């Protein structure tokens, strides 16, 4: 049986992965006819060789993938805290452990709080409160 922390980590990971999934960018890669019309200021642009809509759509499908089977559980879990706390937990989970290119060291609370325009103490308090609520929900629900 998984621990509360393992379940929390897994579901937050699923939620964050869904938010940052490249499938949300499908359809926005490369040039399409409308983008070329804008670029050419309303004039009919010359053919690019890649302006066949079916080919464009087929190419974009590679960015769409099936959602995790745990996505609904992850959404249910995250919905247990306020919108503000959701943002704090998600941004913390997204950057925690990554290397900050400005410092070549892992992101710290201060740097993550700065991304959210929050005082570091308020960030820590809000994160702690949200994670406590999420842990309680896991412990009192069907997740275990």
When pLDDT is averaged across residues 9-32 and rounded to a whole number, the result is 71
Which residues lie closer than 8 Å to 18 by C-beta, 6 or more apart? 67, 68, 71, 74
Residues 64-107: pLDDT tens digits? 566 777 888 999 999 999 999 999 999 999 999 899 999 999 99
The residue that leads in pLDDT, 15 or 64, is: 15
* Residue listed under structure tokens 């079916």: 54
Given a contact cutoff of 8 angstroms between Cβ atoms, the answer to whether 86 and 78 are in contact is yes
Q: What is the mean pLDDT of the chain?
A: 80
Quick one: tokens of 37?
A: 């019309």
- 72, with CB counted inside 10 A (0-12, 13-18, 19+), is exposed
At residue 75, the pLDDT reads: 93
Residues 22-31: pLDDT tens digits? 654 545 545 5
At residue 2, the pLDDT reads: 86
CA-based Rg of the chain, rounded to a whole angstrom?
Answer: 21
The closest alpha carbon to 76, from 3, 14, 5, 4, belongs to 14
Model confidence at 19: pLDDT above 90:
no
Phi–psi pair at 104, nearest 5 degrees: 55, 30
- Residue 74 CB neighbours (<10 A): 20
Please state whether the predicted TM-score (pTM) of the whole model is above 0.75: no
Most confident of 16-30, 40-54, 61-75, 100-114: 100-114
């Amino acid at each position: 049986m998984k621990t509360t922390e393992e379940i929390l980590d897994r579901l937050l990971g699923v939620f964050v992965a869904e938010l940052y999934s490249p499938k949300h960018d499908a359809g926005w890669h490369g040039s399409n006819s409308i983008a070329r019309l804008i670029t050419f200021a309303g004039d009919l642009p010359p053919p690019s060789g890649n302006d066949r809509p079916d080919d464009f759509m087929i190419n974009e499908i590679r960015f769409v993938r099936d959602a995790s089977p745990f996505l609904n559980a992850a959404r249910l879990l995250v919905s247990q805290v306020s919108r503000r706390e959701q943002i704090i937990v998600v941004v913390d989970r997204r950057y925690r452990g990554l290397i900050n290119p400005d410092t070549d060291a892992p992101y710290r609370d201060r740097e993550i709080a700065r991304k959210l325009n929050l005082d570091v103490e308020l960030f820590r308090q809000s994160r702690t409160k949200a994670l406590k609520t999420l842990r309680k929900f896991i412990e009192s629900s069907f997740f275990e």
